[in-house]
């Protein structure tokens, strides 16, 4: 990940959810390198820096020590939720936004519960690290759907008033538009073929999970879309203030997935799954599409089909051009 500097602080995270690492984000003093605060992704509220200022929008994200009680035993200590991609700072609200990675291991039967705070978008006070709100995007992640995609802060008209929005294209195939002050999901629509859920309930914030596509130990579940590569990987989307559209390198690859029992051995992979990737549904055989997305209405405006996966980011310019790279 690229560290983010704000004033006298540098914010950094770690990778390693596939090794059973316990994720965190930390603030370092820019002059001395001294750690000023550390917020873990799993564990008791004191470790996650959840206190009296924490006001999640949805009941599903409220409760004491959910970073422990939503896990079996002490598995939260190897639970993943690493912070290995983009961080966003809003100087008006003085909030730091980021997403956490998948829960570990990939075998969901080994970790019943929501597995908080993996696959979660956090808003924090950058001065103290205190959590202000959190939204778990994919509770009990059964598909390696990290929530590590960038969170793009924009102010746009929404239902007659200008709102402070946070736009997030998740690996799970849904594009989320949130109120970045409160964590309320305003729109959530599929931007690529996704069959693990039929939609996102805006009242509860929960996905309407298709239980035929939930992975299980010893069961070969076929044709889950998107794959662990995600509907979009870590490569960033771009926003153009000229068009008010987002430009997204989207991936259309699905997976056959069998969860397997695995033991945690420090320093070795902590996966617990056998997977086979395959092209997703497409009349042309395309494995990706470059799309223009309206985050207010939650709809695709146009797309360019690409035969191979898009693993590069997008760039929108003041000259009203947008760029992206292909594997060809």
* Enzyme catalytic residues: 18, 102, 144
Polymer length in residues for the chain: 328
Question: What is the tally of helices (H) and strands (E) in the chain?
Answer: 2, 23
- How big is the CA angle at 16 (ends 10 and 21), to the nearest 5 degrees? 95
Q: Whole-angstrom Cα distance, residue 10 to residue 32?
A: 11
Tokens of 29: 């003093």
Which run of H or of E encompasses 68?
A: helix 66-69
- What is residue 45's three-state secondary structure? helix
The residue with tokens 């597995």 is: 115
Tokens of 194: 């996704």
The total of other beta-carbon atoms located within 10 Å of residue 93's CB is 15
138: phi > 0 → left, psi -120 to 50 → alpha, else beta; which? beta
Closest CA to 169 of 190, 186, 196, 195: 190
The total of other beta-carbon atoms located within 10 Å of residue 5's CB is 11
Q: Whole-angstrom Cα distance, residue 297 to residue 314?
A: 21
């Amino acid at each position: 990940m690229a560290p983010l500097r704000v004033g006298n602080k540098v914010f950094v995270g770690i990778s390693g959810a596939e090794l059973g690492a316990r994720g965190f984000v930390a603030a370092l003093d820019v002059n001395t390198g001294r750690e000023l605060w550390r917020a873990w992704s799993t564990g008791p509220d004191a470790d996650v820096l959840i206190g009296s200022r924490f006001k999640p929008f949805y009941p599903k994200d409220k409760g004491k020590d959910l970073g422990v009680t939503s896990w079996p035993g002490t598995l939260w200590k190897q639970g993943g939720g690493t912070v290995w991609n983009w961080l966003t700072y809003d100087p008006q609200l003085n909030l730091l936004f980021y997403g956490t990675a998948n829960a570990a291991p990939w075998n969901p039967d080994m970790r019943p519960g929501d597995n908080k705070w993996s696959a979660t978008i956090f808003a924090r006070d950058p001065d103290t690290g205190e959590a202000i709100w959190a939204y778990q995007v994919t509770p009990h992640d059964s598909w390696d759907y990290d929530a590590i995609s960038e969170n793009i802060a924009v102010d746009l008209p929404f239902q007659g008033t200008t709102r402070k929005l946070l736009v997030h294209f998740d690996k799970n195939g849904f594009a989320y538009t949130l109120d970045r002050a409160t964590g309320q999901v305003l729109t959530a629509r599929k931007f690529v073929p996704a069959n693990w859920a039929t939609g996102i309930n805006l009242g509860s914030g929960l996905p309407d999970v298709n239980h035929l596509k939930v992975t299980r130990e010893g069961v070969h579940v076929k044709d889950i879309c998107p794959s662990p590569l995600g509907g979009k990987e870590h490569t960033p989307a771009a926003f153009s203030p000229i068009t008010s559209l987002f430009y997204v390198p989207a991936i259309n690859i699905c997976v056959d997935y069998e969860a397997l029992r695995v033991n945690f051995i420090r320093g070795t992979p902590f996966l617990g799954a056998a997977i086979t990737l395959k092209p997703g549904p497409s009349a042309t055989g395309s494995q990706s599409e470059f799309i223009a997305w309206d985050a207010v209405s939650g709809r695709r405006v146009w797309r360019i089909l690409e035969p191979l996966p898009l693993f590069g980011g997008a760039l929108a310019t003041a000259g009203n051009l947008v760029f992206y790279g292909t594997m060809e």
